Amino acid sequence: MSENGGKPSIRRLKTRPRDRNWAMTRMGLSAGAHFAAHSVGNFFRSGSDRDERNRQFYQQQAQFLAEQLGELKGSVMKAGQMLSLYGQYFLPPEAVDVLSGLQDDTTPVDWSFLQPVIEDQLSAARRAELEIDERPIAAASLGQAHRARRKSDGLELVIKIQYPGVADAIDSDVKTIVRLLWLSKMVPRELSLDPVIAEVRDMLRREVDYEHEARATQAFAAKLADDPRFVVPRILPEYSGRSVLTMTYEQGVALRSEQVRNLPQTQRAELGRSFIWLFLREFFDWKMVQTDAHFGNYRVRLSEGQAPQLVLLDFGATRHFSSAFVAGYREVVAGAVERDQQRLVAGAESIGLMSSGFPADTLKAFAELCYTIVEPFMIGTDHPPPAALVGDLGYRYGQTDLPRRVTQLMSRAALSRYFRIPPREIVFLHRRMAGAFIAQTVLDVEWDARELVLDALGAAADEAT
């Protein structure tokens, strides 16, 4: 959930199907009209001017959709966020940038819409035990969070409340957002979005299942209970329900805060190491990954005389991966680190990402993409990163342009007639992986992760045998 930041709350929440359908119909008509006008204008433009106008058009279309979805709230907005993850494979970059921004800028809902949810989910006796602040501390697309205090002992709590009607609208909202993308002419006509729709729908259902989130939170808390690097909230089932989830309030500052930026390099590097270690452990060992890498789900606890800790929040997007998928993906990573194209392609084929029957140049391009992605883990090998990116302590994440180079390679791969949207597991796994990498650049750290990655690959191999 993103911070509220003092924004005025929404006074009227469109939860009735008729209201939502009419609002989205208007969006679709407007998007179609804008495209028609843009197409007519392009007829009279030169090639270079047409390209520039296309970029402006896609950005304006995406911005319009983002603003309208932000007012609607609910699963249609969350679907827009999730589609931005898939969108890097088929949407214009301008549209991806705007849609992904939905994750960071949401307007809170007035307490009058949420109070009935609390009254329905918690008994009068339980509600009487709490003092709830009606001002939200964070707002997102599916719900928002409020501070609370237990009167008996002063325990500080956070209550996560789901917006009314969200769970019931998932199917229609997912269909609608996809239809809007078609009407906006931002999706190639020949591309099937059926696998995308299925994954987005499944993920949304997991995120509105607060019982699933409670179990996932408790599982992570148990696995990290003895690790002083991490803090996980404690769930209070007595103050929770189908649409209400209550947990302990865990203090911390934002990852991008000045306090974190001013930490010594060694402490920032340890935080960076914690991000990578946690991702590797989640995927290769636990096979249970919190796939939402939004930085609002992380805080840094700074305590006098103690090493900084990562506070982990919001486990609604947690998903499990099969042993077969993890084993196949391990072969991809190991093949990339060892620059073994045959091993890399075999692993990719086992998880449905590539086919050994593809032309040699397609397989080579895929291998080169993977070799580039693992660049930070190649210090001290025969294929090291560019010298400018290697410092005394390791890879200089704060100075690298690796994300840009990877994006360029992926864009070229998408132009191939052998391009396919990756399997559903990979898209959300890569969201988490990218988040762990971007955290390094935000922290502006310098360290060598090679041994950490090799250890994880070795442990995964031992388990597989």
Inside any domain, residue 115: yes
pLDDT at 44: 39
At residue 74, φ and ψ (nearest 5 deg) are: 70, -165
The residue segments making up the domain with residue 286 are: 251-465
pLDDT at 43: 41
Domains in the chain, number: 3
Inside any domain, residue 367: yes
3-state secondary structure of 325: helix
Inside any domain, residue 429: yes
Same domain, 242 and 346: no
DSSP secondary structure of 413-464: HHTSTT--PPPHHHHHHHHHHHHHHHHHHHHT-EE--HHHHHHHHHHHHHHH
Residue 17 CA: distances (Å) to CA of 21, 25, 208, 314, 332? 6, 12, 18, 28, 45
CA atoms within 13 A on the CB side of 98: 21
Same domain, 256 and 403: yes
Calpha distance 429→275 (Å, rounded):
14
Inside any domain, residue 35: yes
Closest CA to 210 of 233, 188, 235: 235
Same domain, 397 and 261: yes
Closest CA to 76 of 163, 8, 159, 186: 163
Same domain, 176 and 324: no
pLDDT at 158: 98
More confident residue, 438 or 179: 438
Average pLDDT over residues 6-13: 58
Calpha distance 100→431 (Å, rounded):
11
Question: Tens digit of pLDDT for each residue in 251-292?
Answer: 999 999 999 999 999 999 999 999 999 999 999 999 999 988
DSSP secondary structure of 121-177: HS-HHHHHTEEEEEEEEEE-SSEEEEEEEETTT--EEEEEEEPTTTGGGHHHHHHHH
pTM of the complete model beyond 0.85:
no
Same domain, 245 and 255: no
pLDDT at 427: 75
pLDDT at 185: 60
State the chain's mean pLDDT as an integer: 82
Residue 270 CB contacts under 8 Å (≥ 6 apart), including other chains: 229, 307, 308
DSSP 8-state secondary structure symbol assigned to residue 253: B
DSSP 8-state secondary structure symbol assigned to residue 15: -
Same domain, 300 and 399: yes
More confident residue, 178 or 146: 146
Q: What CATH number is associated with residue 242?
A: 3.30.200.20
Same domain, 176 and 255: no
Inside any domain, residue 360: yes
Inside any domain, residue 348: yes
Same domain, 179 and 60: yes
Same domain, 257 and 243: no
More confident residue, 256 or 1: 256
Inside any domain, residue 200: no
Inside any domain, residue 439: yes
Question: Tens digit of pLDDT for each residue in 311-347?
Answer: 999 999 899 999 999 999 999 999 999 999 999 999 9
Residue 15 CB contacts under 8 Å (≥ 6 apart), including other chains: 74, 163, 164, 165, 169
Go through 101-129 and write b for each residue having 16 or more CB atoms within 10 A of its CB, e for each that does not.
Answer: bbbeebebbebebbeebbeebbeeeeeee
More confident residue, 100 or 108: 108
Average pLDDT over residues 186-207: 75
Same domain, 246 and 267: no
Question: Tens digit of pLDDT for each residue in 283-319?
Answer: 999 999 998 877 888 999 999 889 999 999 999 989 9
Calpha distance 238→84 (Å, rounded):
37
Same domain, 174 and 62: yes
Residue 218 CA: distances (Å) to CA of 145, 224, 425? 19, 10, 23
Same domain, 310 and 221: no
